[in-house]
Structure 1
Amino acid sequence: MPPYTPLPLIGNDLVINEDSCNLSCTYCLTGQSNLKEGHSLQLIFDPPKRDDYSPTTELGKRINTVADQINDRFNLPLLKVTGGEIFLVRGIMDFLEEQSRHYEVLVLQTNGVLVTEEHLERMRSWGNVVLQISLDSHLYQGNSYRVQSESLHGKVLRSITRALDSGLPVEIYGVLNDRSVAELTEFAGWLNEFEHPPTFFPFPVRGPDSDHFKIRPEQISHIEELAARYDEFSGILPPYPYFDRLLSFYREGKRTFRCHLPRLVVSSFSDGVITPCPNIWFSDMGNMLGDKAGQVLDKLGSSGLYRALLAPKPRLSACHGCFTPWDTLSMYFEDEITLDELCAAPTYAPPRIRGMIENAKADYLAGAGA
């Protein structure tokens, strides 16, 4: 990359109170991150802390500033809001409703437990919400790294079923680990039975502690089985080449394919911190909440870290262990799927988003794949 290449950003991944969640997933990435002191203290495993949003609360002023300044600079069509668990924040729906007016798509990632029918009805009225719900299996054993009792699992399942029945576009994010992978095909069958079936993205457990949870070599056959039955479940699965990448990840023992995500999406936090990759929180590039916000945004695409993150082959050990549903963007850049296949997903379907992605790839290719 040249010293400074303005990024063709399509989205902001806004992380709100990442240390506060109503579940304590054993493999939680926040509990393994070293980006901030609070992460190293593993505050994510403490009792959840409620917070309040309004334009006048401290949280409200911060997240309004972060979201608005990034959007003012880049005029983004997509905002993703995640945590922690965002529905722990009292008044969060007011923030989400206001933000929905400024974007073609508002993606909300949640474990679903605190999402009520009232929330769902209100989100439907906005017309541009995509729910991303984390669930590893419909069976307790396969979901037991996320919940510690069968009774809690039942509560989780009831809440997620309500969301799946809502008619909203839903993506299920299923982490593949040594417990969930054995139930993979059965889980796909369960999801396939809904009147409004979601899209199901299975992806590997990640992070420095992933060796404690990752699937064993003999368990790869469960992924191979789902791929072999792709036609049966094609209505709920991403394009088939997704499974080529997924199986390559496991057979090679690491990621060997290129990632384009940092050129398209930035990650921001409710305390103002900016970091270049939504998948793995690498480095604090600065804080948006001071008088140097413009200088912080100028760093996007220009720091040395971007050279490593966007290299033809993954250079960083954290990248070697990373594969997520965001990978469909990289698959389009690498001609593994078509634009139509990518934009069949509601997240990328709006014409403006589709056009921006297509133009970003054309610019990338015109630059000889820099």
Structure 2
Amino acid sequence: MQPLEGLTVLDFTTLLPGPLASLMLAEAGARVIKVERPGGEDMRRFPPFVDGQSVLFAQLNAGKQIVTLDLKTSEDRRRLDLLIAGADVLLEQFRPGVMARLGLDYETLSARQPGLIYCSISGYGQTGPRAGAAGHDLNYQALTGLLAQSCGTAAHPALPPAQIADIGGGSFPAVMNILLAVLQRQKTGRGCHLDVAMSDAMFTFGLFAQAQRIARVPVDEHGTGLLTGGSPRYRLYPASDDRQIAVAALEDKFWWAFCDVIGLPDALRDDRKDPGATAAAVAGIIASRSSDDWGPMLEAADCCVCVVRQVHEARADPHFVDRWLFSRTISPGDTAMEQIVLPVDRAFRG
């Protein structure tokens, strides 16, 4: 028996944050009913495609029951009322005010269904001066100071390779808070309105900078922080074949082991004296050999240093193969596609 078996989720969300959250709930056993407008949501038209079907849409909505409703018609509104009456959780991702204009806001629905857990995912939350503003992942990182700490520079900014706000600020907090609300409802019998703002969580991702701010010391920005490229011990160095070597040898035991492998001169190993000189020397040594040369030596040293893998290489890594991360497939229509890897899915299924 799966942990969320018997729980019904009515999902109005589109694109990434909400659909990924409801997918996690579905993988844990919940029945998820996805409500789409006529013509379907935008992710259906998002590349890449396999046999004309969006891979991302298929991955994010596997195992869900999809219903198409035109909320402008009385017949479909009656169908929706029946779905809401049978739902434990309602998940929505519109701008604040949209659900109220449809008569589907928390106050209206909870009046007749007190046990309903209603989760709203938005960029800036349900209240505040920015509540109604448009935004995307990059905006949420930019406005919260997180992007200013990136490993790029002021002249050459670096874009993050992941949807940190969408997933880390939207999907994950939504799932966690929905599960907490389910536990609370078991104790009280009442539901609640969860206000998940993707931008709010970006301050948590910038925890080191927040600590510096509280301590009234200058906040490291534009790649100058300990974990964003400011230390020789934690940055990327290109090898002679232009492949990057990821150095994360923060602790002394790892740093000294790394220095031994590359043969860094003793005078430069205390990187507190002149970090720039140490980093330059490390860069020169790493650039003198290929990643194929460095890879086996660094792996044998077990010093938190490795070659940056391409996606196809990572998928073929014996460790991830052994954990069966890419073994499950979904079949939307007649097309078989590999399912997305979920933390809840991997943890429960083993």
TM-score, normalization: structure 2?
Answer: 0.29
TM-score, normalization: structure 1?
Answer: 0.28
